[in-house]
Structure 1
Amino acid sequence: MASIDYYLGTISPYVYLAGTRLEEIAQKHGATVTYKPVDLMQLFDRTGGIRPADRHASRMEYRAQELQRWADYLGVPFNLKPAHWPVNMAPSSYAVIAAQDAGGGNLGALVNGFANAVWAEERDISDDAVIRDLLGKHGFDPELADKGLFIGAETYARNLEQAVEAGAFGAPFYVVRETGQRFWGQDRLDFLDRHLASL
């Protein structure tokens, strides 16, 4: 059975566009997924990327066109300029980490819920009330928003180091542990699917 490390940023538009396709692919192949939220801005800094605020205008203009194209293609609502972006990723990331440790809910739906809240619902995912609401909606104890903050911070920092070591440099980023094969971007999920089918 394959094991997938999923490096993600809860505010990433590409994580939003990925939806729950990773979970569907993993289920089809009997693979397990370990969710590893990371600070995307630090990941960019550490791996030669450029933060969106510092990118050339031509790159950002193309990004805007491409994001809208993908949203239209996938048939999902998308707000190119959400009210709460960028926003501190740490609180929602700690919630994902705590939920993964606690179990009992739908972790893939929770991750998608945070991204959906940013890019389709105009919600602030650094707000405690929003985090509690999303935890509850996806089968987790809303109190996890306040539990394990120290462990969450430690894991969040460790995830960044592991992402760099694994060769990740953006999000969503999928690494198949058994083979070392890496897949960057929601538009590479079909290749991940094909790879898992070959194992």
Structure 2
Amino acid sequence: MPHIDYFFSTLSPFSYLAGLRLEEIAAERGATITYKPMDIIALFARTGGTPPAQRHPSRQEYRAQEILRQSKKTGLPMSLAPTFWPTNPAPSSYAIIAAQRAGGGNVGALVHAILRACWAENRDIAEDGVIRGALEEAGFDPTLASSGLLAGAEIYASNLEEAIARGAFGSPFYITGDEQRFWGQDRLDDLDRHLAGEI
């Protein structure tokens, strides 16, 4: 059975713009997914990247144009300047880790609900109430927002180390079981074709 390790940040606009396409591809190709939230700023620092606010104005302008283009292509509403961005991504990441370990709900729907809260609903994804609401929406026990915090912190840190070791440098980043790497939501069609044996 094919497998996809999905490295992402809950602060990433491009992870939000992926929507549920990864989950659709996995269902069609019979693939499993492991969700690996990570600290994107730490990843940038260790892999030669630059946080958005520190990029040259031309890069910032291009990023804004591309976000709006992708929003139109996907039909996903998007705020270029969310009220609560950046915020602390750790609480939402820990909740995703706890939910994946607990099972019983839809992790893909949880990830998307958290990203949507940030980028389309102008809500603070570091707030307990927002996280609990996303957990409940995705079929999980909302108390997972405040459980397993130590384990969540450890896995969050290890996800970063694994991402670096396996060649990830941005979000979203998809790595297949045969170590093929795909960076960006605009490479999901290539991931699909790879799983189908076409490329």
Alpha carbons 1:8, 1:38 under 8 Å: kept? yes
Q: Which residues of 2 match residues 102-121 of structure 1 at below 5 A?
A: 102-121=102-121
Q: Which residues of 2 match residues 1-199 of structure 1 at below 5 A?
A: 1-177=1-177, 179-198=178-197
Deviations 1:112-137 (A, max 9, x none): 11110011001000000111111011
Alpha carbons 1:10, 1:114 under 8 Å: kept? yes
In the TM superposition, residue 62 of structure 1 has moved relative to its aligned partner by 0.6
TM-score (norm 1): 0.98
Deviations 1:104-160 (A, max 9, x none): 001001001111001100100000011111101110000001100000000000000
Q: Which runs of 5+ in 1 are unaligned?
A: none
In the TM superposition, residue 194 of structure 1 has moved relative to its aligned partner by 0.2
The separation in 2 between residues aligned to 1:76 and 1:97, in whole angstroms, is 25
Deviations 1:67-115 (A, max 9, x none): 0011011111111000010011000000000000000001001001111
The separation in 2 between residues aligned to 1:29 and 1:100, in whole angstroms, is 21
Question: Cα RMSD between the aligned structures?
Answer: 0.8
Q: Which runs of 5+ in 2 are unaligned?
A: none
TM-score (norm 2): 0.98
The separation in 2 between residues aligned to 1:74 and 1:34, in whole angstroms, is 24
Secondary structure (helix, strand or coil) at the match of 2:36 reads strand
Hey, which bits of structure 1, 4+ residues long, moved more than 6 A?
Answer: none
Secondary structure (helix, strand or coil) at the match of 1:198 reads coil
The separation in 1 between residues aligned to 2:180 and 2:76, in whole angstroms, is 29
Residue 18 of structure 1 aligns with an amino acid whose one-letter code is A
The separation in 2 between residues aligned to 1:111 and 1:75, in whole angstroms, is 18
